[in-house]
Amino acid sequence: MDRLVNTVRPYAWGSTTAIPELLGVAPTGEPQAEMWMGAHPGAPSRTDRGPLNELIDADPVRELGPPTVEKFGPRLPFLLKVLAAGAPLSLQVHPDLAQARAGFAAEEAAGIPVDAPHRNYRDANHKPELICALTPFHGLCGFRDPAEAADTMAALGVDSLKPYVDLLHAHPEEAALREVLTALLTADRAEIAHTVTEAAHAAARLGGAHDTYARIAHHYPNDPGVLAAMLLNEVVLQPGEALYLGAGVPHAYLDGLGVEIMANSDNVLRCGLTPKHVDVPELLRVVRFEPNDPGVLRPEASPSGEELYDTPIDEFRLSRFVRAEGAVPTELTAPTPQILLAVAGRPAVGGLALAPGESAFVPAGEKTELSGAGTVFRATVVA
């Protein structure tokens, strides 16, 4: 197995303290948003044998195992992260697999460079993801009941919001949500900026349930995404709770520290809360306008002590072990590749002790076990 040395990405929305506290190091004063564990070419983990992506490229069957290569090809199908939000991330959705393949092929045929700022599809893969809270974790996920969104807007007492309030009371609900999001994203920029400013001031005065929108507007003044956020369910995860985000579900993370796992893709369509490109027609084609409960996940325990976060896709499987002093070792040998991430205590993978924030890659089929006290997340695939 290999101890991983991982890259921390300094995105502007990152917390300046959460990842350093996990790692037990002094903050630098700069934002530290995401620590990547995996073989993504943008920031592959490093090992004593070389970068993880190069190890896999050199011998995918040995590192990933025949079942994984047969099902997903010669690449690690998932990317594991520690995510630390100190400010809201962009409001976004991800395409399903068919949409990603079609969109990528169309942009390739059009000759759009893969790193162009206005490019939507940087690969041909979907990007389902799961976020599991390490601290109380605040986010927005999926559309709420349109009547509830209408009440939230109406309570602000802003005259220019009344047309949106009226639309949200229309039926069917899916059409009402589509019309309002379309209107927000295609409105005159100066007019919508004025509405956002008024709404933000009113939200700050009201406080309570409206405080979230005032805080979002503080980071993204004049952005129509502040109003779009009112269409979504607000969720606060407690440590150990998780959210699964499938294709077409609008979401944004607001603050907190969590473990995130996703299919190995970079495909993001943004709705707002960002200075980056927003392709409204393509976004509206991908978004699923279905009001629903965000569906908080809690892990399901097995006799071995492994607690599984059950999701409907195969590119990743996330579980955790919460081990007490004196617990018997747990066999971890598997025919698929694994990344083990410690977040508390000092457990050991094989003979490799892991402090909080440290991780290890276990190639497919390598005999290993988990011992010692602490909390460890296990990332692998279903193959």
Q: Would you say 32 and 84 are in contact if contact means Cβ atoms under 8 Å apart?
A: yes
Percent pLDDT > 90 in the chain is: 95
Tokens of 360: 């290890």
Q: 231-260: per-residue pLDDT in tens?
A: 999 999 999 999 999 999 999 999 999 999
Count the residues in the chain.
Answer: 383
Mean pLDDT of 360-364: 98
CA separation for the pair 256, 254 (Å, rounded): 7
The predicted pLDDT at position 351 comes to 87
Q: Reply yes or no on whether the pLDDT at 298 is more than 90.
A: yes
Q: What is the pLDDT averaged over residues 253-272?
A: 95
Q: Say if residue 41's pLDDT is above 90.
A: no
* 124/157 Cα distance (integer angstroms): 45
pLDDT tens track for 214-228 = 999 999 999 999 999
Please tell me the predicted confidence (pLDDT) of residue 42: 84
Residue 158 CB-density burial (10 A; 0-12 exposed, 13-18 middle, 19+ buried): buried
d(CA 352, CA 10): 28
Mean pLDDT value across the chain = 96
What does residue 109 show for φ and ψ, rounded to 5 degrees? -65, -30
pLDDT at 321: 97
Contacts of 163 (CB under 8 A, 6+ apart): 183
Give me Rg for the CA atoms of the chain: 22
Catalytic positions, please? 270
CA trace torsion 37, 40, 45, 51 (10° rounding): 160
Of the pLDDT bands very low, low, confident and very high (cuts 50, 70, 90), residue 266 is confident
Close Cβ partners of 110 (under 8 Å, ≥ 6 residues apart): none
256 vs 87: CA distance, rounded Å: 9
**Residue 207 in this model has a pLDDT that exceeds 90:** yes
* Burial class of residue 294 (count of CB atoms within 10 Å of its CB; 0-12, 13-18, 19+): buried
Q: Could you report the per-residue pLDDT of 104-135, keeping only the tens digit for each?
A: 999 999 999 998 999 999 999 999 999 999 99
Supply the pLDDT for residue 45: 97
